[in-house]
Structure 1
Amino acid sequence: MRSMNPSDGSAPLPLFPLSSVLLPGAATTLRIFEPRYLDLVRDCGRNGSGFGVCLILEGSESGAPALPAAVGTLATIEDFDRDADGLLVLRVRGGRRFRVRQVRVRDNGLLVADVVWLADDVPARTRPEHMLLAELLRRMLERAVGEGVVRIPEHHFADAAWVGWRLAELLPLGEHERQALLQEDDVHARLQRLLEQVA
């Protein structure tokens, strides 16, 4: 583990609690309307930094500060726009995982956390007992994007971490099961949990 914030090395990480889990490599869309999150986006744009996304354990996405899960994902803003109602819409992508050490609430209601950055996944080939999952992922992607799947390098399907994260993103799992996968450090244990889900 490294205790360094990849954004600036020291600043607390602002949190955006959600009712869904953001996984490494996955993208999601956020509609921003509360002043605390507009401030967050402004700060991220000014500093070129990201923010943390954590699953809500208690509370809701708007209103009083929610209780976030202890493990979350760094979100980086890829694009932004306005919707028909004039609300700011962000497209963000998940990056590194982190563990929350301490949370504080700013005057505007924004949660900020001291975090420990979790180690990146160790490169590992998909084990024979999990090759069924790689094939399942290939078929799911073929159905989703058709011929576009040929643009995915073949070596990705032999990458245990990549297969695990993409299946966790695409399978119809409950958010607490996704959270359990996010908290799992072992890539093979992650795939075993997924195999038990589809078996």
Structure 2
Amino acid sequence: MARLLPLFPLNLVVFPHEKLNLHIFEPRYRQLVRDCLEQGITFGIPPFLGNTLGELGTEMRLLSVEQTYTSGEMDIRTQAVRVFRINKFFREAPGKLYAAGQVEDVAQDDEPDPLLRDIISQQVRQLYEALGLRKLLLELSPDYRIFDVAHHVGFSPEQEYQLLATTSEQERQEMLREHLDTILPVVLETERLKERVRLNGHFKNLQPPSF
């Protein structure tokens, strides 16, 4: 069902359930935050990539205003709720400074493929350990979804948008597995090269061969 949703375009992709902290300084978005506080409304973040506003976006809920400055600027905490599609874009919502869109929710199939999840979990573990991201690895829930790791596997913003546009968890799993198949060997080889560079010039205790 179509509805009017305030919009806050940004040059990033936000995934469902993601928490996002923002510094608000433009008057139109300060007005938007005030409306969220006073009316309990949500707003949407459609990605603005390559000078183009995406037709898909992510609906956000305001969690808190952490700080308000004397200038009127604000630090806020938000959390992503769901994916939507923009049917019609308005540069200004009725009587407001900020943009809005006639939007509809995008249904999701969140059922994963258990076998693919096991394969991807091993690949993600290898990647995170190679990159020294052990903290992220420890924080990863056993029943994680692809959206939960998508910002930490080397996707470009355009690839992240493609992932956002994919409505099936199993298709998202396939996308991530193919991506990891491509980048993981490169990352592992790069780390091995860095290790060899670090060892170069050190005194080595090597056993010569016996003839």
Determine if the TM-score, normalized by the shorter chain, exceeds 0.5. Answer: yes
Are 2:135 and 1:144 aligned? yes
Q: CA RMSD of the aligned region, Å?
A: 2.6
Which residue does 1:97 correspond to in 2? 83
**Cα distance in 2, alignment partners of residues 58 and 24 from structure 1:** 22
Which residue does 2:15 correspond to in 1? 23
User: Secondary structure of 1:17's partner?
Assistant: coil
**Cα distance in 2, alignment partners of residues 116 and 31 from structure 1:** 27
User: Secondary structure of 1:18's partner?
Assistant: coil
- Give the AA of the match of 2:7: L
Which residue does 1:185 correspond to in 2? 167
Give the fraction of aligned pairs with identical amino acids, expressed as a percent.
Answer: 23
Which residue does 2:105 correspond to in 1? 117
The Cα offsets for residues 25-68 of structure 1, whole Å up to 9 and x where unpaired, read as 11121110111001100111111121000110355xxxxxxx52
User: Secondary structure of 1:29's partner?
Assistant: strand
Where in structure 1 are there 5+ consecutive unaligned residues?
5-9, 60-66
Are 2:128 and 1:128 aligned? no
**Cα distance in 1, alignment partners of residues 172 and 87 from structure 2:** 23
**Cα distance in 2, alignment partners of residues 68 and 88 from structure 1:** 25
The Cα offsets for residues 51-95 of structure 1, whole Å up to 9 and x where unpaired, read as 000110355xxxxxxx52100001111222227886311111111
**Cα distance in 2, alignment partners of residues 48 and 108 from structure 1:** 16
Which residue does 1:68 correspond to in 2? 53
- Give the AA of the match of 1:71: L
- Correspondence 1:45-60 to 2 at 5 A: 45-57=37-49, 59=51
1:134, distance to aligned residue in structure 2 (A): 2.5
1:123, distance to aligned residue in structure 2 (A): 4.1
Where in structure 2 are there 5+ consecutive unaligned residues?
182-211
**Cα distance in 1, alignment partners of residues 44 and 87 from structure 2:** 13
Q: Normalising to structure 2: TM-score of the pair? A: 0.72
Number of equivalent positions: 174
Task: Pick one of 23, 26, 30 that aligns with 1:34.
Answer: 26
User: Is this contact kept in 2: 1:26–1:169, CA < 8 A?
Assistant: no
Are 2:161 and 1:175 aligned? no
1:128, distance to aligned residue in structure 2 (A): 1.5
1:172, distance to aligned residue in structure 2 (A): 2.1
Task: Pick one of 40, 62, 65 that aligns with 1:80.
Answer: 65
User: Secondary structure of 2:47's partner?
Assistant: strand
**Cα distance in 1, alignment partners of residues 162 and 14 from structure 2:** 12
User: Secondary structure of 1:188's partner?
Assistant: helix
- Give the AA of the match of 2:53: P
